[in-house]
Structure 1
């Protein structure tokens, strides 16, 4: 199963957030699941641009959450 279990955990947390009227948390968990999916997929090929943080999709996801700034 590897690291895919975290996607299920995030989905459960998102369901909890929605059921408890925590829409901002639910939205953040959805974005977090996307980031986790990208990073897990990148582990398949450590030489891919995604694994190196150069994938445009990763930058846009991280930028939209405010954590995509580079030093």
Structure 2
């Protein structure tokens, strides 16, 4: 499974648990949270794709190489 997508499965499991146990509001919130997580993951993938093509990021031009990009 790709680096961060496991969290979507965890959120889905939590939503199922909440729904099964009568926690309707929590289940709805977890559904919203899953959408936000999916959007953030997609955004990170797009940013990585852009940096891989040598485009500028908020910190300047990426020159390639290995390593991890983290935000503060």
The one-character-per-residue Cα deviations of 1:22-64 (angstroms, maximum 9, x if unpaired) are 00000000000000000000011226xxxxxxxxxxxxxxxxx
TM-score, structure 1 as length reference? 0.63
Greater strand share, structure number:
2
Q: CA deviation at 1:6?
A: 0.1
**Structure whose CA Rg is larger:** 2
Number of matched residues?
48
Structure 2 gap segments, 5+ residues each: 51-72
Runs of 4+ in 1 over 4 A off after TM superposition: none
State how far apart, in whole Å, the 1-side matches of 2:46 and 2:10 are.
Answer: 24
C-alpha RMSD of matched pairs (Å): 1.6
